[in-house]
Amino acid sequence: MEEVVEDIVIVGAGIAGLTTSLGLHKLGIRSLVLESSDGLRIEGYALTLWTNAWKALDAVGIADSIRHQHELLDGNVSTSTVSGLQTSYISFKVKGKHGVHEVRRVKRNMLVEAIAKELPSGTIRYSSKVVSIEESGFYKLLHLADATTFKTKVLIGCDGVNSVVAKWLGLKKPTSTGRFAIRGCVDFKHNHGFASKSMQFFGNGVRFGFVPCDDDTVYWFFTWIPTSQEKQTEDSPAKMKQLVLSKLGKMPEPVRAMIENTEVHSFVPYRIKYRHPRQLIWGNTSKGNVCVAGDALHPMTPDIGQGGCAALEDGVVLARCLAEAISGKTKEKAETEMDEYKRIEMGLKKYAKERKWRSIELITTAYIVGFIEQSDGKVMTFLRDKIFAVFLAGLLLKKSSFDCGKLIIS
């Protein structure tokens, strides 16, 4: 059995893990990222990056390299699939708390690759699945599937909704909402002809939408609560495609054609899960020299598009808090391992405190928005389309009016 000693180990090379590592690197601190797969995880097609995400990307110095590859979105249009009528429009070209809003749909592989490219060679260790964690004095021991053991002063879990690190902290597994989602991406090979707007459609228990990534590519999503009979066909992409088409309701023909032209293998449903806010109120998101970030901290429903944005925020805040703790070593006396452990513990506690209520706010808002937008029934349809539509759309901008701050340590 090989034992390797590292000061900081980050589990998971997703958005949160890579951003944390890059933030630490910008502050002159080395970290090692352990990734269970044999390469970067680039699945997921695309994600909307709201104003708060661009603040975080500016903080780590890579925003401009991503901006020029993805077009600005002008606004969000909501339409009823029951009546076929538009229920709300909100412009993204307005000022928020931190300046004019910036919203773009970004291809996930480009985002992840852009962050990873800025890391020093050897920062990411692939095919490194963590199977167990144990304590060893002021260190944590990470046992990998390949029989390697890492001994580390700081352990950061960015290992997603099924986080091994979150489990070690005592956090429960994310809860299923009962909703399913299917996502797809269509490359038109030439101009797709859609406006630079986020388009969303609600009605009959369905939530559907699409967003252009650039001149040629469009990302789309579809969420619903399947019946027991529909669950029996979830392993058949062909049947799932027909199900999506049958539930679109009153949809413009070019939009329906977009779904028709999506390759069948894209129609693989997944369960939408979230972490109940009370776990973040009463549970441990940091303990000693261990903490979690990204989906390991705040898995949420996709209804306000903040999962990836919040992960970017986490990375900046965590890197800043941890760097402050590490740089706070006293020069007046020799420091013991206990002293160093306590500094790290306080740094991670500061991070957890700073992210606690922001995470609760986003999880709760996303859940409520999804519940209302996907609800069925005449009363709820009337309330959503006639009363709540503008308010719900406005929440998208309201929750993105947030600045996680710079990578500056005091």
Alpha carbons 247 and 233: distance in angstroms, whole number: 15
Residue 203 near residue 249, CB atoms below 8 Å? yes
pLDDT tens by residue, 351-383: 999 999 999 999 999 999 999 888 888 888 888
pLDDT at position 333: 65
pLDDT at position 381: 82
Q: Indicate the pTM of the whole model.
A: 0.95
* Tokens encoding 122: 């050897």
Backbone angles phi, psi at 393, to 5 degrees: -65, -35
Residue 358 near residue 364, CB atoms below 8 Å? no
Alpha carbons 208 and 206: distance in angstroms, whole number: 6
CA distances from 78 to 96, 198, 382 (A): 21, 9, 14
Residue 222's contacts (CB-CB under 8 Å, 6 or more residues apart) are 181, 182, 183, 206, 207, 208, 244, 247
Residue 182 near residue 34, CB atoms below 8 Å? no
Q: How many residues does the chain have?
A: 410
pLDDT at position 94: 93
* Tokens encoding 117: 């490219």
Q: Are strands 75-80 and 124-125 parallel, antiparallel or unpaired?
A: unpaired
Residue 359 near residue 377, CB atoms below 8 Å? no
Residue 346: other Cβ atoms inside 10 A: 14
Residue 236: other Cβ atoms inside 10 A: 14
How high is the mean pLDDT in each 10-residue block of the chain (410 residues)? 91 98 97 96 85 98 94 93 90 91 94 97 97 96 96 98 97 96 90 93 92 91 94 94 92 91 93 97 97 98 96 98 87 80 97 98 96 85 83 92 91
pLDDT at position 331: 61
Backbone angles phi, psi at 228, to 5 degrees: -60, -35
